[in-house]
Chain A
């Protein structure tokens, strides 16, 4: 692409690109983010390309490869435009039929449509699917409109027009004022007001100011940032450039999690495109604004999501946090004033400036404005990324969008805030989700993971799971965190092994206090939350493990036994075949039995049995 030196040239190029595209021209969009690729989207794309070529349709039909569009449960999605027909879980073998029936015959293929499990109705258009209907996808919705590796596509949806407006019409102070008035709060977990952070950073003295995009998304079960980085990297970079202008920075970093190779790749590509057309570098759009961005890949350490640890890692050191009596906005990367914001926060910036403060603040609750992207995962029917206005209730998210609980279980809890958050019991799901409400019930917003748990989830096991995670990811700098999380894990592990003692719950509470009070950074300070919230709401489960040596959810191996139900067993032998330790005996068509001494409770027989005959007690 030729270089773009003024806002007028940018508009001209945009008009040329838009003018050169026929909105009525048939186009097939296929999702191909990490989730879709795992389901084989690349083969689907290759097959489609070959099929179009064979039919001589290559010039007549466009293919758009997009990032994830949220509905991961149904990947890969294939959408036929302009009719707007959504096909789900598309496989290479479906392509020839899509070409002959839909593209050439203009007929809808019924079996590839989404079927509403409640009504049985087949749904043609994406927006009519319940999963999408209740969402407000102002940020994430653009993923469906663009190929993330094409800057031209981003131009067609108004890309970088907000930057041009900011650079030519607003002073840095005016930009900060807008962000402050929008009440935008950090989407990475803490919820600190973004405008205030920018202002402090701008006002801090230093030779150089840095801006950083924190894309070290480490909370297990949360992948909103990956969705944005893979699906619309330019929106994040535009936000960073606006922030850099407001703060007075000429150098930025995107610190991407090691486990996200495709996200790194797409951001690198986007930065390369910006450099090629002069939108990064010196005198951007003919103004005095200079800025460049580098991508840095993390090393697979959860702690590097903490701001000071991340900066240490960028400097080539181990990712250990430091005390924050001097804030990073005053002394951060290389001891210079540094502003660090999360991926989703940056992506909110162009939207706010574009649509205005009044529009933005009309969405959400009093203390939490705008929308939030959640990753709705676990034992829920419609797993995926959902963007909703702040203040929507957990019930609406889990049932209206998520379609309710997967399988035949019942809702027990929803865990938010990752390892720093807590479990919210089913009795509180009418609660609106915002920063402050979640804190009130002992959890937190965190980055936006929302893990649905059913009656077959053991809450003591979940507490043990998070403590195992935290003891491994503790950097080891503070003794209270390093040793405290280890000790808490040992206590929890003993409880799940049937070795819990009277007083263990109180011991956990005491350790929680020490770990929280004695640790420098948020990892340690919030580490006890999953334990405290499960004790608060599910104390009876702890007591059942400790006093009765029983796991009510049937999860903790040391406390359960497998047996075969006489009524249900048909003697088919499926369980016997899959048992890895030959613990199951029985003749064909006769009742089978499990030897409890041999059984390792691996779950293979449960998965293999079609008659619900393997019972856990």
Chain B
């Protein structure tokens, strides 16, 4: 049985001056699913995330959350349902892991009496219990990425926006990150996962939205996408190249 829609993106558009980065994009994130946004560089993934996270005001289109209009740019309470994991590690290098978590917890409005428990849970999720009181500046890239994810979960948002969260991490940290994301999904969170790594999308995502030039090219499970391009059983990379073409993307 198909899970109900949680977040609907309807005909979303955004332009940087004359350059249209997102061009009438529509897709649906269902409750408790991991939806992959798969596209080459410049496909519009990060801009779409920015619009969903309320960092950019869409030029046109509509966002709906559980059927009602969703305005993350204008309404700060709407943003409470979102947990953003930015592409870059966005932490304070001179604060410890615990101090970073405490700060972002307060910013997200976590009640003071719950904050310690939330921090402990986040540290466990990131596998950083024994490094809680070390400064981020002393962390490896993988540790920072794990904490970057954990920060977004402090206020227990029903939707996590993950913008290429595994870029540049070692296999151990990557494995830990995926395990953490799977736990979050199994716990009921909906994941919107942007990537251009096929194996990431294949491993984590229930369905995939293939994007290029700011448009949605196809939506479905891996099997549905493969069947859609007339190559049942093909791997995701073959399907992706079939949909997006083989020309280089340098922007």
Partners in one complex: no
A residues within 8 Å of B by Cβ?
A: none
